Amino acid sequence: MAAEVAPGYFDPLAVDPEQARDVARWRTAERQRLLAARGAMSASGRRGLADALAARLEAVLSAEAGPLRGRILSAYWPIRNEPDLRPLMIRLLAAGADVALPVAARPAAPLQFRRWTSDTRLERGVWNIPVPPADAPALTPQIVLAPLVGWDGAGYRLGNGGGYFDRTLAVLDPRPLVIGVGFEDARLPTIFPQPHDVPMDLIVTEAGVRVRRAG
């Protein structure tokens, strides 16, 4: 009997399509809930938490990555009430780091990273996200700040649902130090990690380093 069944049938790592659909549906609902909660914060409350988060990040960066001069860091231009780290991005530039922004240039493809300075004239990319223009230098980041919609204690990230960071982290070589950044309140018991989900090396919130994966 067993010999008649394709060996893949018993593959314990195979994804059950029904379960994958359930997880995807659950994530869509959790994303909505978390985005609504973040949107309901006052602007000044969000600003205060973002500033606290930026201070935590600065300490983490110097502890983990050493001097920032010459380092290539990817940050993000805030959308959907994400923590606004633009003041930190300016300080990183002043410290001599190269700052890049992610660009979803093609659907279902890895992100590109383009150099950003305070003089860069941003254009509107997909979903109206401001991005550096196509002639901005392409950079390969050594450190990636990945904005979190949600996160869990195992270091997994719930993002905006495009799968862009997962696709990107799957192909970046050498692999950068990946730091998930978001608000403490966005913690979930688990995001039900799927085979494509790439865990963060660190998760930092306004409360400090919340997850650190060995590695």
Ligand X SMILES: Nc1nc2c(c(=O)[nH]1)N(C=O)[C@@H](CNc1ccc(C(=O)N[C@@H](CCC(=O)O)C(=O)O)cc1)CN2
Considering only residues 70 through 109, tell me which ones interact with ligand X, judged by CB under 6 A: 76-79, 82, 102, 104
* H/E element, 72: strand 72-74
Locate 161 and state its tokens.
């649902």
Under rule CB under 6 A, residue 165 binds ligand X: yes
Under rule CB under 6 A, residue 113 binds ligand X: no
How many angstroms from the chain centroid is the CA of residue 116?
Answer: 18
Look at residue 62 and give the partner it binds from ligand ATP, ligand X, none, a contact being a CB closer than 5 to 8 Å depending on partner kind.
Answer: none
Rg (CA), the chain: 18
Q: Cβ distance 109 to 167 under 8 Å?
A: yes
Other C-beta atoms closer than 10 Å to the C-beta of 156 total: 22
Query: Minimal distance in Å, beta carbon 207 to ligand X?
Result: 21
Query: Minimal distance in Å, beta carbon 67 to ligand ATP?
Result: 29
- List residues binding ligand ATP (CB under 6 A): 27, 158-167, 170, 196-197
Look at residue 166 and give the partner it binds from ligand X, ligand ATP, none, a contact being a CB closer than 5 to 8 Å depending on partner kind.
Answer: ligand ATP
Q: Which residue of 164, 183, 198, 200 would you call a contact of ligand X, by CB under 6 A? A: 164
Helices (H), the chain: 17-40, 43-65, 86-94, 164-171
How many angstroms from the chain centroid is the CA of residue 131?
Answer: 16
The verdict on whether residue 82 carries a ligand-binding annotation is yes
Query: Minimal distance in Å, beta carbon 126 to ligand X?
Result: 7
Backbone φ, ψ for residue 177 (5° rounding)? -75, 120
The binding site for ligand X (CB under 6 A) comprises: 28, 31, 76-79, 82, 102, 104, 111, 127, 129, 147, 159-162, 164-165
